[in-house]
Amino acid sequence: MINKSLHQFFMAAFAAVLFATGFTVPAQSQQSSTAEDEQVIRKVADYILKEATFQFVDEENGKLYATTGDIPKNREAKFSSKYGEWHYTNGVVNMAMLHLADFLNEKKYADYAKKHVAFGFDNYKFFQKRFKGDRKHHQYPFGQLWTMQELDDCGAMGASVIEVYKREKRKEYKEYIDLTARHITERQDRLQDKTLVRKFPQEMTLWADDLYMSVPFLARMGNLTGDRKYFDDAVHQILSFDKYLWHPDKGIYYHCYYSDNQKNGVAHWGRSNGWIILAQTHLLSYLPKDHPKRQDVINNLQKQLINLSRYQDEKGLWHQLIDKPDSYAETSFSAMVVQGIAKAINEGWLDKRYASVALTGWDALKKEMIEADGQVKDICVGTGIRNDLVFYYTRPARPNEKHGVGSVIDAGVEVIKLKKMLEEKKS
């Protein structure tokens, strides 16, 4: 009689042969694949939980302070962990953790986001009182929480605060949400046609990134308040950004548009295209089914995802500069494409024939970019706008950058859903 371990060996080998020859892998093998995927995203999220600390450290001597009340009057302190910062990337991570908590029904991931938001509101006034304007607001603890000078000061974090507010109805959260709504809808610079822009690097510059720094918040604000003006504005931004940034021949977006000379920048930067994907998927998740331009947004998302499928490399990844295969394979953008395609199929916005693009991309991320302990490699650091491609080619790629870890978690969740959906349709 064959023992259990030998039997398992033969079954695994048989499944591998079936896969290699094009036969359908049995349901048991599919279940084990999704179990492996779940283990991967747990490790990524658990690594964040392990590294996150919500306290402060002395800028000179490295002494730790558990609360702002412990910081002496004559000492300057900073965040002890990047996961305690108040930055748009923290908003991305918060929303990914909440997404994972809902998917796995595990409280510890939601607790992370709730703790991060509470950490900000419990401590920012201490630093606000001390702030003398001697350094840029985004370089001072919680400076972006109370200043709101640009969209990336408040948009993504505002979206994550809305998600936390649904779980914990603190008055300060709602006040912050309302201030963010007022900034985006009334204070942020716009072109004459109401398209959102920034003051830099030139006056009235349109950044692809800003679609994500505005639309996910606007979508949630529409859902929270029931006021359709937020949905209408979000849809308008999607279609306007497409008008200014889309390259019809290459089928991808430019990173920026200079309104002063009515020209695009030089780069088709990966992650900026990824932000556009996510802005659309976030919007469609909340946009009323009867909105007159809902199908326009779906069509736009389909156009982008199908065209990006043509830029996947031989390993299954996408690159820092989308149309430059000699630029490095980059994790955050690859995860955003995988997430976007998988979610679009799951929600019925994209035909399932494109599923293999997402599945191959996810396998490549697991093999090439995610370490056994949950660390994530080769995530491009924060990137502004420059007028030479060398700047984009040479941007450092580092492990565990907040710009990418959240998207890896989201990609894994959507891929698991996709695999289960495809398996159900076969049975």
d(CA 85, CA 89): 9
Same domain, yes or no: 97 and 139? yes
Confidence of residue 134 (pLDDT cuts 50, 70, 90): confident
pLDDT digits (tens, 9 = 90+) for 46-99: 999 999 999 999 999 999 999 999 999 999 999 999 999 999 999 999 999 999
- Pair (184, 210) in one structural domain: no
Q: 366 and 286 in one domain?
A: yes
| Co-location of 310 and 374 in the same domain | yes
The residue out of 156, 188, 220 marking a domain boundary is: 188
Q: What is the mean pLDDT of residues 404-413?
A: 98
Asked if 96 and 174 sit in the same domain, the reply is yes
In sequence order, what are the residues at sequence separation of 6 or more whose Cβ sits closer than 8 angstroms to the Cβ of residue 65? 55, 56, 57, 58, 71, 77
Residues 139 and 273 in one domain: no
Kind plus residue range of the DSSP H or E element containing 119: helix 107-130
Which of 346, 351, 269 shows the shortest CA–CA distance to 305?
Answer: 351
pLDDT confidence band for 9 (50 / 70 / 90): very low
User: Do 184 and 241 belong to one domain?
Assistant: no
Asked, for residue 41, whether it belongs to a domain, the answer is no
Q: Residue 26: what pLDDT?
A: 38
* Distance (Å) of CA 290 to CA 67, 214, 260, 287, 350: 48, 22, 37, 8, 19
8 Å CB contact between 206 and 197: yes
Phi, psi of 65, rounded to the nearest 5 degrees: -125, 125
Cis peptide before 399 (omega within 30 of 0): no
CATH code, 327: 1.50.10.10
23: confidence class by pLDDT, cuts 50, 70, 90: very low
Percentage above 90 pLDDT, the chain: 89
Q: Residue 94: its pLDDT value, please?
A: 98
Is residue 173 domain-shared with residue 293, that is, in the same domain?
A: no
Same domain, 262 and 297: yes
Distance between CA atoms of residues 332 and 380, nearest Å: 7
Q: Which of 188, 219, 249 is the last residue of a domain?
A: 188
Asked whether 307 and 273 are in contact (CB, 8 A), the reply is: no
Domain end, chosen from 153, 188, 223, is at 188
Kindly report, residue by residue over 176-200, the tens digit of the pLDDT. 999 999 999 999 999 999 999 999 8
End-to-end alpha carbon distance in the chain = 32
Instruction: Judge whether 107 lies within some domain.
Output: yes
Average pLDDT over residues 91-111: 98
Same domain, 220 and 159: no
Q: Which residue has the tokens 């149309």?
A: 323
Range among 25-39, 123-137, 269-283 with highest mean pLDDT value: 269-283
Report how far residue 77's alpha carbon sits from residue 95's, in angstroms, rounded to the nearest whole number.
27
CA separation for the pair 401, 238 (Å, rounded) = 27
**Do 277 and 423 share a structural domain?**
yes
Give a yes or no: residue 2 inside a domain. Answer: no
Say how many domains are in the chain: 2
What domain range is 162 assigned to?
54-188
pLDDT of amino acid 245:
98
Q: What residues form DSSP beta bridges with 269?
A: 321
Q: Judge if 174 and 298 occupy the same domain.
A: no
